[in-house]
Amino acid sequence: NVLTVASTCHGVGALHQRLSALGLDPVVLGTPDGGLVPESAFLPHRMKIHPRGRLQAQCEQELRNLEGQVAQHGRGWMVGALQERMQQLRADIEVMQVEGPGDVVADARVACATPLTAGAQLLRDVPFALVVVDQAAGLTEVETLIPLLKASMQVVLLTDPTWTPPIGSTAAEAAGLGKSLYQRLAAAGVEPLVLDTQYRQHPALSAFPAAQLYAGKLQDAEDCTDLVCPQGALPTDGPVGLIHVDGFEDLNGLSAFNFLEAGLVAALAKHLTAHEVLGVDIGVFTPYSAQAKCLRMHMNRAGVEGVTIHAGDEISEVEKDIVIVSVVRTGPAENSAFAGGAQWLRTALTRPRKGLLV
């Protein structure tokens, strides 16, 4: 069995999508949240259709029927026999409630979880030959140790080493637990295996990240040149476009938004969908939740469907053919830093496959 772990629920959804695309049928630990993962993939649903779950449902139904009979008959030798059967059913149901989830996960062979859901009591007897932790540099050491306790043979920590170390609490920092396990192992002499070929982006998109983030060591796969947009879809000469907006920023609580910029983004999305780009292949990224709300309003007004809008850290698990980045801020350079800063922008620039508009 394999346990795959991501730092957020959105990350778990992305893992599930990619594993499903490979023909696997992973079970997702946790409860449905209306996100990327269909309800049928979550453990509660799998329990209902699993043989162990069906048997539990049958026992529960029989127990309810017997409770009704006892209430009807009141007393007597027959009631005593019924109560004895009811006691046995309750004991059987209790065992199935404890062991059933583990059986479902074991039969699925692949499970997806966050660090916390990986530590659920229901997995205590389920061994995983392999535990894979995605974005390991974004987890504190303590968070990573939770799923690692489930590993019986091998652990793989996947991460981008250029990521900023996670910021722990003051107490965690004081105790020396503010760094990731990946960092600690690398500092202790464990040599990372470097994947130096990217398959996601057109070379014109990967050129800047490769030069600025990976010291020119990142190579493009041969077929990356095939990642191109339909003719005339992008309002720029190449796959990358920087677009000036004479907008202004405002605040909704502590979150910033730019009404005119949001309108331009919606117009760009409408232009793209009019040139053979599907809405589901377009992603809009912004550092601010208030701007995300403003963008959704403009998309609705423009009649643009299928485009997904992602705010803040949500972008770390998203890949789209075309990404539009709405940074919101205006004004003098010294006063226009935006939420997430260089780390957020670094992630945003590496998400599009065919086109990027900022």
pLDDT digits (tens, 9 = 90+) for 143-173: 899 999 888 899 999 988 776 655 556 777 7
Q: Are 185 and 148 in contact (CB under 8 A)?
A: no
Of 150-159, 175-184, 314-323, the least confident: 175-184
Could you count the other beta carbons within 10 Å of the beta carbon of residue 271?
A: 15
Cα separation, 280 vs 17, whole angstroms? 14
Pick the CATH number of 198-357 from 3.60.60.10, 3.40.50.300, 3.30.70.380, 3.30.70.3040: 3.40.50.300
pLDDT tens per residue, range 329-352: 887 665 666 667 788 888 899 999
Question: What is the reported pTM?
Answer: 0.76
Cα separation, 182 vs 140, whole angstroms? 9
pLDDT tens per residue, range 198-249: 999 999 999 998 998 888 889 999 999 999 999 889 998 889 999 999 888 8
pLDDT tens per residue, range 282-309: 999 999 999 999 999 999 999 999 999 9
Cα separation, 158 vs 6, whole angstroms? 10
Which residue's structure tokens are 């992973």? Answer: 26
Q: Are 278 and 307 in contact (CB under 8 A)?
A: no
Rg (CA), the chain: 26
CA dihedral 136, 137, 141, 146 (to 10 degrees): -20
Distance, C-alpha 71 to centroid of its chain: 49
| pLDDT, position 19 | 92
CA pseudo-torsion sign 95, 99, 101, 104: negative
Cα separation, 138 vs 160, whole angstroms? 9
| pLDDT, position 162 | 72
Closest CA to 112 of 41, 22, 40: 41
Q: Are 141 and 187 in contact (CB under 8 A)?
A: no
Q: Are 248 and 264 in contact (CB under 8 A)?
A: no
> What average pLDDT does the chain have?
87
Cα separation, 51 vs 71, whole angstroms? 30
Cα separation, 102 vs 123, whole angstroms? 6
Q: Are 156 and 188 in contact (CB under 8 A)?
A: no
pLDDT tens per residue, range 254-268: 888 999 999 999 999
Which residue's structure tokens are 């004895």? Answer: 84
Q: Which CA distances in Å does 157 have to 49, 133, 142?
A: 33, 5, 14
- The domain limits of the chain are 198-357
